[in-house]
Chains A and B, each alone.
Chain A
Amino acid sequence: MNFNELLPLAVLASSLIPGLLIFALPESWVRLRTALNLFGALVKLALVLLLIVGVQAGESYGVHFAVLPGLDLAFKADALGLLFITLSAVLWLFTTLYAIGYLEGAPRRSRFFGFFSLCVTATMGIAMAANLFTFFVFYELLTLATFPLVVHRGTAASMRGGTTYLVYTLLGGAVLLTGIIWLHHLLGHTDFAHAGIASALGSAYDFQLQMIFLLLMIGVGVKAAIVPLHGWLPQAMVAPAPVSALLHAVAVVKAGAFGIVRIVYEVYGIEFAQSLDLLLPLALFAALTIVWGSFRALFQDDLKKRLAFSTVSQVSYIVLGVALFGPIGTVGGLVHLVHQGIMKITLFFCAGNYAETLGIHKVSEMNGAGRRMPLTSIAFTIGALGMMGAPLTAGAVSKAWLMDGASAAGMDWAIWVLWTSSLLNAAYFLPILWRLWFKSVPKVWPGEHIAARGWRETAWLLLLPPVVTAAMTLAAGTLSNNQMSPLSWAKLIAEREYLHETIIRTP
């Protein structure tokens, strides 16, 4: 086994092995557990960096094992996969730091961090899967590894959230499996390839391929929280804040969105999907989700629930970008995969900080919190402005490319959808910012757990991650032309997807 085969496996192992070791650790061995967590996260980052350098230089990384005759567990680390891997690896490090601070002194931490590492391993597997079979294996593993995290608190409410999550994801998984096996039966394999594999079948199979597409989209659409399959996501907000970050930014909804990208580009191929009339319905569902999610967010007083509906809306930006037939829309969708992740994780970190420090869970309790927790609130403000697509933030870059993509594809209605969503975003985020900065400080906070010490408004492990991710949001917005920016990477992928067209124009 040579280096290029070993590297993808090492990326998996860098979270799997620490995870398994952590399960075995006694509860009280805090230091070793923290060391293992951080060691794994840093090793993974280093490995991912090696991959990025290699892929940019044109190396290919992959390995496969036979599971059954004719059925392979296969991995590859290509440009598209790396986009997701890098996002998850970076955010995992910060989520781990945050979780260490968040759970300080809490019970059942070995179990928590064990499953946490398994989740990231599953996410890496999803990103590096080289065929649908492997994708499915890790997609279901992700469901199983997140369930214990969602129900971590062990209360009746968290059980309800966890059960809803399972019902949606297991049903979705069964539908996805049906689609995959059907495709495997028709083609004899389900390997991802540039420009797709499905077009190899003759036109007699068009109807079957359309049905399979429907099944696959329902299957991954559950995790991507596409309306009407989104019901689990707002329910799952009962989970602790680091888990919400994991669900909304690092792993779960991203896995669904990434699945859509892989299936459209590398199973069907964008042009073949267009010729089967699959992209327009997908775009319509994405548009419906974008508007509906934003609309529902307006009426949520619970902060995390409002953010959850916001995720429902924002993740479908990615889907919309994919469904816009054209390279510019592709860039917009792919770059939003990363941008939505860093913006939303900032918001969830901040929501967790308000809850842990001051006991604030509701929007109506946030009056004056900006003065008590300025750093957290600045980070929150940057994240919220990014979600609205304000200039200088990552959100502005995504939105510009998406809108250009829509007009390039001749789908002007999609531009209106994006504007409507921006307005709705402003309508549910601006009141929060107003309360944070301009309302007076209440006499007592709902439940103050952590006292301010100098400039440190809360525990520093809770403060650092949102500040860093907020800075990343600004950096992605202002330095988008840098060679290492998510945008440049998305362009690289889009150029490889649409070989015959080149992207010159920058909006």
Chain B
Amino acid sequence: MMVWLILLPLLWASFAFLLGPGRGTWLAMAGLFAQLWLAFALASEIVAGGAVIHAIGGWGAPLGIDLVADGLSAAMLLLTQCIALPLAVYAHAYFKRDDPAVTYFWPLVGFLLAGLNALFLSADLFNIYVTLELLGLAAVGLVAAGGGAQQIAAALRYLFATLVGSGAYLLGVALIYGAYGTVSIHTLTPLITAEAPDLVWIAGGLMMVGLMLKTALFPFHFWLPPAHGGAPAPVSALLSAVVVKASFYLILRLWIGPFSSLTDAAGLVVWLPALLGALAIFWGSYQAIRAERLKMLIAYSTVAQLGYLFLIFPLLASAGALQAGIMQAFAHGLAKAAMFMAAGTLIKATGQDLVAGLAGVAERMPVTLFAFGLAGITLMGLPPSSGFLAKWQLIELALSQQYWVIAFVVLVGGLLAAVYVFRVLRQAFLLAPANSVVTPVPRTLEWTAFVLAAASVLLGLRGVELMQLVGVT
């Protein structure tokens, strides 16, 4: 089952490549549907019977490669497939046949998903490096695929960031291998707990910084807004919703796994991610409030929303912190994908991408605006939405550990999000100017975004199962 989650996207990506530019859509959708089913099956298997280990070809570690899935990985796999399928349907309706961006779209998306799924299932540090590179290169390819000068510039910037990030990570892995002679996460954890020379601290620091760069945590966020804001809408949605979460997942995995003894001993250093997260919330929101272009606004909102994920690190002493983090990852993933998709539809219909040009869309494109609004509710953390549950959990954890400052940041962050979300909604509710033109768009574009946005809200009414899944180790 786990192997197929990696093989399937590789298979349909290869077929799509062989079939030629823009082809292979239906194969991809069939594959994505199967992947979604597999992810659900895996999750229910884990809830029922605990974590699953699969040795590829029957050769276990250290000789072969192990695939390991616990609640955390299963949740991330589920999130990825849940977003990928509607997104593919959207992309199929979004791209025209002769759009240059669609030439290698399906193969690149396939490789990207294979990289992601493999990353969530990997159990050793070197395999993770390989998946990171696969993921990064596919993502850069997708950003560059539009072919415009600005997109190429954004892609090069992104390429630089992702290469430096994985370089730092690889250096760390090399140091660890030198120190302990193994890269298996499972084997490393007791070894590092027993003895951690200074070199391991350096290795850990390098890996963390590299991954933070890839997650676009403030102040490493410089590459994200142009890349996510400039790419075609389906690509922006995929990158903002899931790709940045992959490196966050790794930070979390290492933090509570092999490096847990280091983070316990690190004292105030554990506050560093939370501090950067708080700054990300403020700075990202500020830039989103100022942004003139709709997609830049949403991209900066991603910078801000990623900040919440890092607020959980000082709180990890409670089991609930992990659950709060995953709830926020789901909330942001579903909502941000929906929001970029809705923005893409609005831009297609109005023929321009300024926030100021949205007057009247509430009347002309109600479904899309609804999708945007529902996604906005999740991002603001208003009930009933998954974003609200994430914030509830974060604030309660912060209060129970007497970290008032974290609760304050979460609340203020929600209000700042309201400012930029309602900036868009207000504009949309204004009466349309007489000369404005709205080109009709395929309904698929409107409804796929709506489905994801509604999912982000409905998850807020029933988070028990997800929390149960995340609790399985």
Contact = CB atoms under 8 A, between A and B. Distances in A.
Given A67-B464, A170-B415, 16 more contacts: A65-B461, A67-B461, A68-B393, A73-B461, A137-B388, A144-B382, A155-B431, A156-B430, A159-B426, A162-B426, A166-B422, A170-B418, A174-B411, A177-B411, A178-B395, A185-B396
Contacts of A140: 382-383
A144 B393 contact: no
Contacts of B377: 144
Nearest to B418: A170
Interface string B372-415: 00000100001110001100110110011000000100010011
A136 B429 contact: no
Contacts of A66: 464
A256 B464 CA distance: 30
Interface residues of B, number: 34
B362 interface: yes
A154 interface: yes
Contacts of B429: 148, 151, 154, 159, 162
B464 A69 contact: yes
Interface string A243-254: 000000000000
A491 interface: no
A147 B421 CA distance: 13
A168 interface: no
Interface string A154-173: 11100100110010001101
Given A144-B382, A184-B396, A69 B411 contact: no
A69 B395 CA distance: 16
Contacts of B414: 174
A137 to B, nearest CB: 4
A67 B362 CA distance: 31
Contacts of A111: 362-363, 366
B467 interface: yes
A181 B460 contact: no
A154 B430 contact: yes
Nearest to B464: A66
A378 interface: no
B392 A181 contact: yes
Interface string B427-445: 0011100000000000000
A171 B419 CA distance: 11
Interface of A: 23, 65-69, 71, 73, 107-108, 111, 136-137, 140-141, 144, 147-148, 151, 154-156, 159, 162-163, 166, 170-171, 173-174, 177-178, 181-182, 184-185
Contacts of A73: 461
Contacts of A181: 392, 395-396, 399, 407
B410 to A, nearest CB: 10
A23 B366 contact: yes
- Most B CB contacts (10 A, CB to CB) among A67, A156, A163 go to A67
Contacts of B407: 178, 181
11 contacts: A23-B366, A67-B461, A67-B464, A68-B393, A68-B463, A111-B363, A140-B382, A159-B430, A163-B422, A178-B407, A181-B399
Main secondary structure of the interface of B (DSSP, over half): helix
B96 interface: no
B460 A67 contact: yes
Main secondary structure of the interface of A (DSSP, over half): helix
B431 A154 contact: yes
Contacts of A162: 426, 429
Nearest to B425: A147
Given A178-B411, A181-B396, A137 B384 contact: yes
Contacts of A182: 399
Contacts of B399: 181-182, 185
Contacts of B362: 111, 148
B186 interface: no
Nearest to A114: B366
B97 interface: no
Interface in B253-305: none
Contacts of A23: 366, 370
A142 B399 CA distance: 27
Given A163-B426, A170-B415, A136 B467 contact: no
B457 to A, nearest CB: 11
A495 B134 CA distance: 70
B461 A173 contact: no
A155 B425 CA distance: 14
Nearest to A170: B418
A476 B237 CA distance: 57
Contacts of B396: 181, 184-185
A169 B396 CA distance: 22
Contacts of A67: 389, 460-464
Contacts of B431: 154-155
B462 A65 contact: yes
Nearest to B366: A111
Contacts of A69: 464, 467-468
B464 A141 contact: no
Contacts of A174: 411, 414-415
A71 B384 CA distance: 13
A155 B9 CA distance: 50
A111 B373 CA distance: 14
Contact of A166 (B383, B389, B418): B418
A408 to B, nearest CB: 40
Nearest to B427: A159
Nearest to B383: A137
B387 to A, nearest CB: 12
A74 to B, nearest CB: 13
A469 to B, nearest CB: 30
Instruction: List the 10 shortest-distance A-B pairs measured between CB atoms, nearest first.
Output: A154-B431, A137-B383, A185-B399, A181-B395, A174-B411, A66-B464, A151-B429, A68-B463, A137-B384, A140-B383
Interface string B450-471: 0000000000111110011000
A171 B388 CA distance: 15
Contacts of B415: 170-171, 174
Contacts of B393: 68
A62 B370 CA distance: 31
A107 B399 CA distance: 48
Contacts of B462: 65, 67
Nearest to A152: B429
Contacts of B426: 151, 159, 162-163
A212 to B, nearest CB: 11
Contacts of B411: 174, 177-178
Most buried by B among A111, A141, A154, A166: A154
A166 B425 CA distance: 12
A272 B394 CA distance: 30
Nearest to A163: B426
Interface string B165-188: 000000000000000000000000
Contacts of A171: 415
Interface string B60-90: 0000000000000000000000000000000
B251 to A, nearest CB: 24
Contacts of A154: 363, 429-431
Nearest to B463: A68
Nearest to A153: B431
A108 B363 contact: yes
A174 B363 CA distance: 30
Contacts of B464: 66-69
A439 B350 CA distance: 54
A109 to B, nearest CB: 11
B467 A68 contact: yes
A162 B362 CA distance: 15
Nearest to B414: A174
A155 B388 CA distance: 31
A154 B399 CA distance: 41
Nearest to B397: A185
A67 B389 CA distance: 9
A310 B422 CA distance: 30
Contacts of B382: 140, 144, 173
B419 to A, nearest CB: 9
Nearest to B389: A68
